[in-house]
Structure 1
Amino acid sequence: MIEPYRSPETVDNGSKMLPIRSIMVGENFSGCPFSPELDRLGSRRFASRLTLPGGGWFFPAAMLHQVLKSKIYKAVTTDSIVEYEGSIEIPRDLMEAAGLWEGEKVLVASLDSAARLETYVLAGEAGTGRILVNGGAAHRIKKGERLTIMAFGLAEMPVVPKKIVLDAENRIERSGR
């Protein structure tokens, strides 16, 4: 556990800490010492300096960022079934190419209607190209709509997401940018 650095004028009154700005680990500014405990993680890692209400600083051990990890772009909905347990069904081969897991939460955005929703992934039969939107989501996204399907993860460092672009038959056209 890293103890917060407290300047002599610090008053700990139980108030929450407020974020000030991000710094490179080891950066010394305005008399603020670097944290050797964080420095062992590597000088390229970022720490966020948090200030205490009465003065002084605190450096959390890790700052997690929510980042894009998987993206399927221009998927075409082949069917939309309201009377089915909610989810989005994606062929297993497309899931593997994009790095998606069965049951993983995804954000689905329609390129045609601008509808956005969150649901979970069901694995469909590989090679079929069938993208099914089921349950309540079928009220928002209809058959034939083009979709962007995204999954996010938590990471300390930048992540290179797996991105694929599909053609009109939901076959992989190319890797995404």
Structure 2
Amino acid sequence: MRKIVGGKLHGIRVTEANLEYHGSITLDPDHCEAAGILPLEFVEIWNKNSGARLSTYVILGQRGSHCCILNGAAARTCQPGDELIICSSIYVEGEQIADLSPAVLTFDSANNVVERLRYSVRQDEAGRYHFAILDESGSRLPIPLASRASPKRAS
């Protein structure tokens, strides 16, 4: 079995950090449903502001609230306004990868969904994998790649 991205909330902002609640992350059910993230599912959280990485489980907040509340110990790792990447995982057999199309939502500073993307993997006749990021219409988007230009040498 391989651990694969199940769904992702990319760039969602922390709306509150509640140290006194007994744990978890509270998210808007609309965002979770659109990304395929389930209540009580464990997710990995990566804080783009601080670099903190943690794991906790999801509880659902008020629908339409755009909330992203870190609770309990997780509240120490994030401040309101911090930009997060929240990723769920699924386990699949390697050959099942081509059957998946995980959702990726991107957000503005008010936690409105800006883009609804999909990851896509296919395997060609030679067994090589091909990865694509697709927009809502199914069009391929550019994938950021390292520059192939050789570094300039100091003279």
State the TM-score, normalizing by the size of structure 2.
0.71
State how far apart, in whole Å, the 1-side matches of 2:21 and 2:108 are: 26
CA RMSD of aligned residues (A): 0.8
Q: Does 1:127 align with 2:64?
A: yes
Q: Which runs of 5+ in 1 are unaligned?
A: 1-63
Matched residue type, 1:81: N
Matched residue type, 1:169: A
2:83 is matched with which residue? 146
Q: Does 1:79 align with 2:16?
A: yes
1:43 is matched with which residue? none
Q: Which runs of 5+ in 2 are unaligned?
A: 118-132, 134-155
Report which of the two has the higher share of strand.
2
Q: CA deviation at 1:133?
A: 0.4
State how far apart, in whole Å, the 2-side matches of 1:68 and 1:150 are: 7
- Residues 51-70 of structure 1: matches in 2 within 5 Å? 64-70=1-7
Q: CA deviation at 1:175?
A: 1.5
State how far apart, in whole Å, the 2-side matches of 1:120 and 1:109 are: 14
Matched residue type, 1:151: S
State how far apart, in whole Å, the 2-side matches of 1:122 and 1:171 are: 19
Larger Rg: 1
Q: Deviating runs (4+, > 6 A) in structure 1? A: none
Q: CA deviation at 1:141?
A: 1.2
- Residues 1-177 of structure 1: matches in 2 within 5 Å? 64-156=1-93, 157-158=96-97, 159-176=100-117, 177=133
Question: Structure 1 residues 156-165 or 108-117, which shifts more?
Answer: 156-165
State how far apart, in whole Å, the 2-side matches of 1:124 and 1:81 are: 13
State how far apart, in whole Å, the 2-side matches of 1:140 and 1:72 are: 18
Question: How many residues matched?
Answer: 114
Q: CA deviation at 1:140?
A: 1.1
Matched residue type, 2:51: A
State how far apart, in whole Å, the 2-side matches of 1:131 and 1:119 are: 13
Q: CA deviation at 1:143?
A: 1.3
Q: CA deviation at 1:111?
A: 0.6
Give the SS at the match of 2:21.
coil
Q: CA deviation at 1:101?
A: 0.5
Give the SS at the match of 1:147.
strand
Q: How big is each residue's C-alpha offset from its partner over 1:127-152, in whole Å with a ceiling of 9 and x where there is no partner?
A: 11111000001111111100000000
1:8 is matched with which residue? none
Matched residue type, 1:118: S
% identical equivalent positions: 30
State how far apart, in whole Å, the 2-side matches of 1:126 and 1:162 are: 19
